[in-house]
Structure 1
Amino acid sequence: MSKLKRSCVLLLAILLPFNFAPLASAQAYEAHPKLVVILVIDQFREDYLERYRADFKPRGFKLFLDHGAYFPDCYYDYANTETAPGHSTIGTGAYTDGHGIGGNEWWDLSRSKDHPVSSVDDERYQLVGMPAGEATTPGASPRNLLASTVGDELRLDTKGQAKLFGVSLKDRAAILTSGATANAAYWIDHTSGRFITSTYYLPQLPDWVTSFDNSGRIEQAKQESGYADTKQFYEEVGRTPAGVSYELDFAKALIQNEQLGKHDVTDLLTLSISSTDLLGHRFGPDSDEQRQMVDMLDTDLDGFFAWLDKNVDGGLGNVWIALSADHGVAPSPAVSAQLGLNAAQWDMKKVIDDLNYAINQKFSPGEKVVYILPHQSLPYLSLNEPSFQRAGINEQEAEQAVQNAIEPEIESLTKKAESKAPAMAKLPPRPILYRSYTRQQLAAGQLPPTDFGRILAHSYSPNGGWYVMLVPAAFQMGPEKGTGTTHYTPYSYDRHVPLAFYGAPFAIGTYHGRVGPVDLAATLASLLGVNQPSASIGHILTQALKPAAAVTYPRKPVVRSRSTTHHRAAAAAKKPE
């Protein structure tokens, strides 16, 4: 043996006692974990978990509360708390100024002059799986999403080997959380309840989706919801617990048929539960109906997590689940006003009509030019750019004129409400405009150097043309019916959501202290060993992570053939003593 070979053998003899097997920390490239599920619950304030904790099953929400890393003080750091921006934030680890999604819809006059466009509408594609005879609508895609998601980064770093899917009853929730590289995103046709997708992803539905749609599961959900004859599946079945179990059954079918959790790299599923939002808008967050929905959702999650334990290689020990919500929600203005809060309701149609009159008086007296576009909701007020341009008015002048006209209009609403109050009665809630900002102010960062200014800066979007952002006083919103409510503001009730993780690398405990939904994508990316999403500003939640050496994953049993075992036994028998 040469001197060099002897040296190498000696070095190996010294090093062999030291275990060079990689630490059992997460590594997407080695399928640790097998599957990541990002679970988003639409319109789900964090305090639900505190208030209803005694109701929960052992492996529903308590999987996170008792066996996971739970962050009760999670708040969005922007003002436009709606569904599309929230799901985009969870996926990208960025706020609107990073991912570009400012609302569920906005006016884009280059694409439509008679209605706002959805955050995911894309007329370059077509919907796939729509029932025969239904009106043709635009396809959908993540065309407006300006940043990558954690799922995109997983796909990039594994050269497309990792599978990525998004599921929700809502198109924007399925599309924006998963990202541009998803194998597919699935959502439902509002009328029939059938799961559909877009040609952005697939030219036709896979056979398993068609089979699910034709399986009778839709009729079962209708029966369970009490709306057996409905022609509006989304609006009626969707706002019941039957809508949750229907969606989770589809998720199970996807996991089985796409073989998620059975590959040589980590797979990722984004799953957004929409039913809590559909019901919450109608009844409010403190209603008995919403509590029942939360309890039934807990029961369904208990069953879903048990199913994952049986159907992913290695069970839940090989699964990570991250939990959050796309936004919180305001207390019902009717209930808040009864308790003495100044929970006024704004009549947005009247506000828009009166603003149009005021701007006509300024720029085109005696005419009825449409300067403020119809069919819109707070916090953004979209301007009709061509109307101003025809009058020779530039963006700065137009937005400033609308901003100046807003405050007198809100004051007139207050006077009108107070004039109707009976003598010696407590005055009704009065509308108050807390602040307003033009698009140009937001774009230039001409904002107060405060925490509130930072929240506003994070709310800027290049979409929507010319606009003015309105911030009503706390607890105020549009004219909601009964105990109904909504969300869109910078106030804590709209920004407060849960954040929790379950899985091998997470140290069990409750972690107090402010965190944000942007931290979800940053933490998962770090643990998976992939790049953070392109616009990510989140922090890695190291306080809730175990040391790498303490992280273990189930291993597949080593299966040896009889012939291999026989040859090894024979070789051992021949070995000299």
Structure 2
Amino acid sequence: MKKLTFLPILFSIVFYLNAQEANQNKPKLLIGVVVDQLRYDYLDKFSEDFGKGGFNRLIEEGFYARNVNYNYKPTYTGPGHASIFTGTTPSTHGIVGNNWYSRLEGKRVYCVELTDEEGNNYYSPERMKSRTIADEIRLFSNFKGKSYGVSLKDRGAILPAGHLANGAYWFDGKNGKWVSSDFYKESDTKWLNDFNSINFKEKYLSEDWELFAEEKTYAKSLADENPYEGELYEGSGVSFPYDLIKGFEKSGYDILKAIPQGNSMTLDIALSLIKANQLGEDEFLDFLSVSFSATDYVGHRFGVNSREVQDTYLRLDKDIARLLNFLDDNVGKENYLLFLTSDHGAGEVPLFLKEQSAPAGYIDAKLIRNKVEEELDKKYGEADWIEYFINFNLYFNKSALIEKSVNLSQLNTTVTSLLIEMEGIADVYHSERAINSSVYNQMTKNGLLASESGDLVILESPNYIIYSKTGSTHGSPYRYDTHVPLLFFGNEIEKGESYKPYDITDIIPTASAILKLPLPDGASGNVINEVLD
């Protein structure tokens, strides 16, 4: 009898110890790192020039999903950040561009800017119709877990941190300060004031931007002086070195957004935030998103094949190593889960491709609009037929349709016939017409929200862009824009690699499974089981 009495007590002790061990193994901090415009090929292309402690450490010690793609068009920063952290596409979360035309508001709107009843503009995530994983962390812990977002870009900070965040912080280049919004209820901002008291000009701009490595390292990139790059600032030229004090005199603190030092500053404030708010120090899971945006500004200005882009990544690698070392020392590798990915890729400069006899070119948005207006005037009579054209979305003026007794179906048919004959336009989507490719048709549908998107959506041909003749851009459904790296690292993540196809919307279901969290309300992705195995 004594033995039988002892057994339940023994089982209770074992259960308690196992529960304690499981609780101790749970991460205390989730960090989502987004490198803006990080193409998939960069991590391999520059691998031998990286150190051991940054990107290569993530690859060597973490799980690398090598075949992750965005499953919608348009591939822009706002939709990218929203999709990563909600686990769904613009058709659900509603961020259909960085900017778009709102019929309800009768104007072009910005993804994280709204107007209050008094007519004052403010920044918030309210245009996003889904919750993020950060919101689920807040709800799951009864608001004891903390949530923050940091980025040079407001949208890169605001969208990941979600609707229930403690705070989101971004860089105001006009005033040279890191700022937030009254939307957030964060009360203790002494740490932010302390950070803003740093002399950013002296710390980040006092030295010229020179090549970080030996000249021979940059053989992977185009020659320093080439016709495919734009200037860093007026009169800077397009070759190293760049005088950053002159850049400051021309552009003010905004110059920091377009140089590698902007990434270093982003990391510096992120580390200050972690320390000041004691992230990862108690039993409640905290969240931090860090979006490195300077990579995007550099890519847009100089092009994906430039030495400036390569140099920016060599320097960012050191910042990634610094981040990992800080987390190891201050949170403990067993206490954090980190994932790193990108909000989109980018394409080669079409001018460069054309000179190599590859198909590429430029689309003139004004020409499209004028030709459509002329064709509709000729067929139905003069009117202001187009209300707005943005992100390859055509919004028709419904008043003109009523006035001329033309229905939308007629208009769509007429305009489609015109557009598909134009160079650089591969196909057209509207409510009565599917794109010939089922893949691109579904990607287009995934990027649309009926109440926000245009009546007609243009599918551009590969490597045809609406952009300047220098620098690179993104937005298409093609692999150079959709294919991005995904790395999981930290708490109980085993080294691994996979070439199986996954969608960007699979990141949050996977992180949620690891952390045993409910999925965000709109999540449509699936768990990457290989990360958990």
What is the TM-score normalised by the length of structure 1? 0.80
Query: Who is 2:219 aligned against?
Result: none
Q: Is 1:434 aligned to residue 426 of structure 2?
A: yes
Q: Is 1:300 aligned to residue 313 of structure 2?
A: no
Task: Give the whole-Å Cα distance in 2 for the aligned partners of 1:179 and 1:327.
Answer: 20
Q: Contact between 1:346 and 1:478, CA under 8 Å: does it hold in 2?
A: yes
Deviation (angstroms), 1:19: 5.5
Query: Who is 1:403 aligned against?
Result: 416
Q: Is 1:183 aligned to residue 170 of structure 2?
A: no
Deviation (angstroms), 1:479: 4.0
Classify 1:221/1:371 alpha carbon distance in 2 versus 1 (closer, same or farther; 3 Å).
farther
Q: Which residue, out of 456, 460, 464, partners 2:444?
A: 456
Q: Is 1:174 aligned to residue 170 of structure 2?
A: no
| Secondary structure of residue in 2 paired with 1:507 | coil
Classify 1:90/1:25 alpha carbon distance in 2 versus 1 (closer, same or farther; 3 Å).
farther
Query: Who is 2:121 aligned against?
Result: 138
Q: Contact between 1:331 and 1:485, CA under 8 Å: does it hold in 2?
A: yes
Deviation (angstroms), 1:234: 6.5
**1:147-162, aligned counterparts within 5 Å?**
147-162=130-145
**1:245-256, aligned counterparts within 5 Å?**
245-256=264-275
Query: Who is 1:512 aligned against?
Result: 499
Q: Contact between 1:100 and 1:462, CA under 8 Å: does it hold in 2?
A: no
Q: Which residue, out of 364, 373, 377, partners 1:356?
A: 373
464-473 or 61-70, which deviates more: 464-473
Classify 1:77/1:254 alpha carbon distance in 2 versus 1 (closer, same or farther; 3 Å).
same
Counterpart of 2:133, as a letter, is V
Q: Which residue, out of 446, 455, 467, partners 1:467?
A: 455
Q: Contact between 2:420 and 2:428, CA under 8 Å: does it hold in 1?
A: no
List per-residue Cα deviations over 1:396-442 (Å, max 9, x = no partner). Answer: 4444443333234x2xxxxxxxxxxxxxxxxxxxx23211112x358
Deviation (angstroms), 1:24: 7.7
Question: How many residue pairs were aligned?
Answer: 497
Task: Give the whole-Å Cα distance in 2 for the aligned partners of 1:101 and 1:275.
Answer: 22
List per-residue Cα deviations over 1:233-255 (Å, max 9, x = no partner). Answer: 56522110110111111111111
Q: Contact between 1:148 and 1:179, CA under 8 Å: does it hold in 2?
A: yes
Query: Who is 2:64 aligned against?
Result: 70
Q: Is 1:98 aligned to residue 92 of structure 2?
A: yes
Query: Who is 1:22 aligned against?
Result: 18
Q: Contact between 1:343 and 1:475, CA under 8 Å: does it hold in 2?
A: yes
List per-residue Cα deviations over 1:447-468 (Å, max 9, x = no partner). Answer: 6683333322312223435432
List per-residue Cα deviations over 1:175-234 (Å, max 9, x = no partner). Answer: 112211111111122312311111111387822212212222355223346433346456
Query: Who is 1:339 aligned against?
Result: 356
Q: Contact between 1:106 and 1:463, CA under 8 Å: does it hold in 2?
A: no
Query: Who is 2:392 aligned against?
Result: 379
Task: Give the whole-Å Cα distance in 2 for the aligned partners of 1:476 and 1:47.
Answer: 21
Structure 1 stretches lacking a partner, 5+ long: 127-135, 411-430, 547-577
Q: Contact between 1:399 and 1:466, CA under 8 Å: does it hold in 2?
A: no
Task: Give the whole-Å Cα distance in 2 for the aligned partners of 1:280 and 1:523.
Answer: 30
Q: Which residue, out of 515, 520, 523, partners 1:528?
A: 515
| Secondary structure of residue in 1 paired with 2:346 | coil
Q: Contact between 2:428 and 2:435, CA under 8 Å: does it hold in 1?
A: no
Q: Is 1:227 aligned to residue 244 of structure 2?
A: yes
Task: Give the whole-Å Cα distance in 2 for the aligned partners of 1:25 and 1:512.
Answer: 33
Task: Give the whole-Å Cα distance in 1 for the aligned partners of 2:158 and 2:399.
Answer: 32
Classify 1:504/1:349 alpha carbon distance in 2 versus 1 (closer, same or farther; 3 Å).
same
| Secondary structure of residue in 1 paired with 2:289 | strand
Q: Is 1:288 aligned to residue 288 of structure 2?
A: no
Task: Give the whole-Å Cα distance in 2 for the aligned partners of 1:16 and 1:23.
Answer: 10
Task: Give the whole-Å Cα distance in 2 for the aligned partners of 1:441 and 1:144.
Answer: 28
| Secondary structure of residue in 2 paired with 1:269 | strand
Task: Give the whole-Å Cα distance in 2 for the aligned partners of 1:451 and 1:118.
Answer: 28
Classify 1:13/1:223 alpha carbon distance in 2 versus 1 (closer, same or farther; 3 Å).
same
Classify 1:384/1:60 alpha carbon distance in 2 versus 1 (closer, same or farther; 3 Å).
farther
Deviation (angstroms), 1:23: 6.0
Structure 2 stretches lacking a partner, 5+ long: 210-242
Query: Who is 2:341 aligned against?
Result: 324
Identity %: 28
Q: Which residue, out of 102, 108, 123, partners 2:102?
A: 108
Task: Give the whole-Å Cα distance in 1 for the aligned partners of 2:370 and 2:436.
Answer: 31
List per-residue Cα deviations over 1:81-125 (Å, max 9, x = no partner). Answer: 111111111001111122121111111244354xx2101111129
Task: Give the whole-Å Cα distance in 1 for the aligned partners of 2:290 and 2:365.
Answer: 33
List per-residue Cα deviations over 1:446-499 (Å, max 9, x = no partner). Answer: 5668333332231222343543211121111124223x1211111111100000
List per-residue Cα deviations over 1:366-414 (Å, max 9, x = no partner). Answer: xxx433245x543323334444444444444444443333234x2xxxx
Query: Who is 2:479 aligned against?
Result: 492
**1:236-247, aligned counterparts within 5 Å?**
236-247=255-266
Classify 1:466/1:329 alpha carbon distance in 2 versus 1 (closer, same or farther; 3 Å).
closer
What is the TM-score normalised by the length of structure 2? 0.86
Deviation (angstroms), 1:174: 1.1
Q: Is 1:121 aligned to residue 134 of structure 2?
A: no
What is the RMSD computed on CA atoms of the aligned residues? Answer: 2.6
Counterpart of 2:131, as a letter, is S
Q: Contact between 2:409 and 2:432, CA under 8 Å: does it hold in 1?
A: no
Counterpart of 1:151, as a letter, is A
Q: Contact between 1:165 and 1:182, CA under 8 Å: does it hold in 2?
A: yes
Deviation (angstroms), 1:17: 7.7
Task: Give the whole-Å Cα distance in 1 for the aligned partners of 2:448 and 2:150.
Answer: 27
Classify 1:386/1:188 alpha carbon distance in 2 versus 1 (closer, same or farther; 3 Å).
farther
List per-residue Cα deviations over 1:6-45 (Å, max 9, x = no partner). Answer: 6873333553684642368876xx6821211100011111
Task: Give the whole-Å Cα distance in 1 for the aligned partners of 2:205 and 2:185.
Answer: 28
Counterpart of 1:378, as a letter, is N
Query: Who is 1:132 aligned against?
Result: none
Counterpart of 2:176, as a letter, is G
Task: Give the whole-Å Cα distance in 2 for the aligned partners of 1:394 and 1:73.
Answer: 43
Q: Contact between 2:79 and 2:90, CA under 8 Å: does it hold in 1?
A: yes
Classify 1:45/1:449 alpha carbon distance in 2 versus 1 (closer, same or farther; 3 Å).
closer
Task: Give the whole-Å Cα distance in 2 for the aligned partners of 1:251 and 1:183.
Answer: 14
Counterpart of 1:9, as a letter, is T
Task: Give the whole-Å Cα distance in 1 for the aligned partners of 2:452 and 2:415.
Answer: 16
Query: Who is 2:465 aligned against?
Result: 477
Task: Give the whole-Å Cα distance in 2 for the aligned partners of 1:194 and 1:393.
Answer: 52
469-478 or 207-216, which deviates more: 207-216
